[in-house]
Amino acid sequence: MSFKDLKKNSSLGNLTKKLISEVEKMNTPVGGGPDERFWKATMGKDGVGQAVIRFLPACDGEDLPWVKMFSHAFQGPGGWYIENSLTTIGQSDPISELNRELWNTGSEADKETVRKQKRKLSFFANIYVVKDSANPQNEGKVFLYKFGKKIFDKIMDVMQPEFEDETPINPFDFWSGANFKLKLQKKDGYWNYDKSEFDRPSPLLDDDDALEAIWKKQYSLDAVIAPDQFKSYDQLKVRLNQVLGKNSSRKSSVEEETEYDEYAKTESQKVSDEEVIQKLEKSWAESKNVDTSTDDDGDDPMQYFKKLADF
């Protein structure tokens, strides 16, 4: 699709219907070191953060302006299990099989274990940073942005408003979309996005040449969830056994839909991967006796957890 076609298909056309259809179907980075492609909001020492971003259209040759990722993050006797789930790309995953097996025992203790080991859902999209006072060098640049279901729900709220007097918008559109005012607060030790909201619809820029330049700088979302971004089933099985303190584990042969499958579909969307990471960072901070609201400490908690997950 050319840039001219992108503008021609602007607003609430086939793209929006395709997005909504994908969400309805859904409802029924690998590697060490910081990834410079990604933008992350900054929380101030006062427990408040703010930025303005714009969600961008799908890349050339890709259908959707976002992709979803399932992952697991939990601690066992042998350390932390922090891995992307192969269920993201429609493949069998050892922890999902184990959770199904445990759920089907009917034991409340086993079900509680499943709840601790359940899938977490996160999303990836291209964004343009309109304003980032904490890091002004990011303004005017394109990044990948990883976010959870709370922000995704806000996206869907403006695409499918609840009330008849509200006009739906496609927030991913260059011309009739809207800036997203990201507002952060720290509540009970965790980041909260409840006050974040979309601004009024307006073009991102009034210069189509500049918009096209932005469009061409976007990162492939298909690459984010490409098969090479996941460990193999056997690698994940080895790591899972290490974390659980087992030398071997029986592969579940359950194939039919079960009560667990319905539970998994619902629960995997309740807690975002970012919230899990915040819990891990909080746990790390408590063990190191540091304050995660500051950036003064030289240690990187995410590097700490990545080391725990390596084998």
Q: What is the pLDDT of residues 150-162, one digit of tens each?
A: 999 999 999 999 9
Residue 263 pLDDT: 58
State the Cα–Cα distance between residues 126 and 219, nearest whole angstrom: 7
Domain interval for residue 16: 3-309
What's 187's domain CATH number? 3.90.198.10
Q: DSSP letters along 137-160, please?
A: GGTT-EEEEEE-HHHHHHHHHHHS
196 and 180 Cβ atoms separated by less than 8 Å: yes
Q: pLDDT by residue (tens digit) across 17-46?
A: 565 555 554 444 444 567 899 999 999 888
Q: 85 Cβ partners below 8 Å, 6+ apart?
A: 69, 70, 71, 72, 93, 95, 96, 119
Give the CA angle between residues 267, 247, 121 to the nearest 5°.
Answer: 20
**What's the structural domain count of the chain?**
1
Phi, psi of 170 (to 5 degrees): -100, 100
3-state secondary structure (DSSP) of residue 277: helix
Q: pLDDT by residue (tens digit) across 94-109?
A: 999 999 999 999 999 9
254 and 161 Cβ atoms separated by less than 8 Å: no
pLDDT over 70 (residue 12): no
Mean pLDDT of the chain: 81
Phi, psi of 239 (to 5 degrees): -65, -40
